[in-house]
Amino acid sequence: MGDGTAGTVTVKNQTNYDTICDSYKSLSNKAFLMNESLGYVIVGVNTVIRTIMIMMITWIGYSSETVLLAKITTFTFLMLFFNTAFLLMLVNADMSEQPVAFGFTMGTYSDFNGNWWKQTGNSLISTMSINAIFPIIEWGMFLAIRLFFRWIDRGFKWGENKEQPTKT
């Protein structure tokens, strides 16, 4: 005790404990990220669904081109509508308060309440806002893909191929 350290406490095996604020911040950031990305995920999944539906119905085949297009339009729309408008509503639904629950009793929202609008309503608005400008994004995306393949076709060069033909 004569070494001058009397009165101090040394903590052994010190562990970095998260404070409540850190946990809250981390969870809040995750929730924000998931909520914000949900709109983009829905639009992305919608595009995949549309493509798959078109391929499947084309594979089934119909007697005329008009019937085929009508079927593709109808089924693609139904899938998109279900994915955009109904899926989020149904997975979060708890209809146990209703006269007939139709099996939807596992969710967290018994009605379109404040929390529903804050979470799912926000995602819906985000999805629709992305949907609104999606034709432009889609055009840019497909243009980039086409330009990429043209670039490969030109031997990884832009512009016309100015190489002189080999004389034999």
Partner 1 sequence: MQYVNLYAGPEFLMHFKYSAMLNIVYVTMMYGIALPILFLYAILGLLVLFISEKLLFFYTYRLPPSYDASLAKHVIGQMRFAPMIMMVFGYWFLSSNQLLENKIFMIQRASDTPLTGHTYGDFVYADGWGAPQWPLALMSIFMIIQAFFGGMIMKCLIQCFPSLEVGNEELDEDIDTYWNVLDDGDRKWSQSECTNFRGYANMNLEKFGMKQKSKDFKLLEEEEFQALMDSKSTGRTL
Binding site for partner 1 (CB under 8 A): 46, 50, 54, 65-66, 69-70, 72-74, 76-77, 80-81, 84-85, 94, 96-99, 107-114, 117, 121, 124-125, 128-129, 131-136, 139, 142, 146, 149-150, 153
Using CB atoms within 10 Å of the CB of residue 35, give its burial: 0 to 12 exposed, 13 to 18 middle, 19+ buried.
middle
Residue (35 or 131) nearer to partner 1, CB:
131
Residues in a beta bridge with 93: 109
Closest approach, Cβ 25 to partner 1, in A, equals 20
- Give the residue from 30, 83, 118 showing the smallest Cα distance to 108: 118
d(CA 129, CA 107): 26
CA distance linking residue 75 with residue 69, whole number of Å: 10
Tokens 């995920």: give the residue: 41
| CB closer to partner 1 out of 40 and 81 | 81
Least CB distance from residue 86 to partner 1, whole Å?
9
Q: Which is nearer to partner 1, 32 or 148 (CB)?
A: 148
CB-nearer residue toward partner 1: 30 or 146:
146
| Shortest spacing between CB 43 and partner 1, in angstroms | 10
Residue whose CB is less far from partner 1, 25 or 150: 150
Task: Please state the closest distance from residue 32 (CB atom) to partner 1, in A.
Answer: 20
Query: Distance between CA 127 and CA 114 in Å, rounded?
Result: 19
- DSSP designation for 167: P
Q: Residue 101 in contact with residue 87, Cβ under 8 Å?
A: no
Q: Which of 43, 56, 33, 37 is nearest to 141 (CA)?
A: 43
How far apart are CB 122 and partner 1 at their closest, in Å? 10
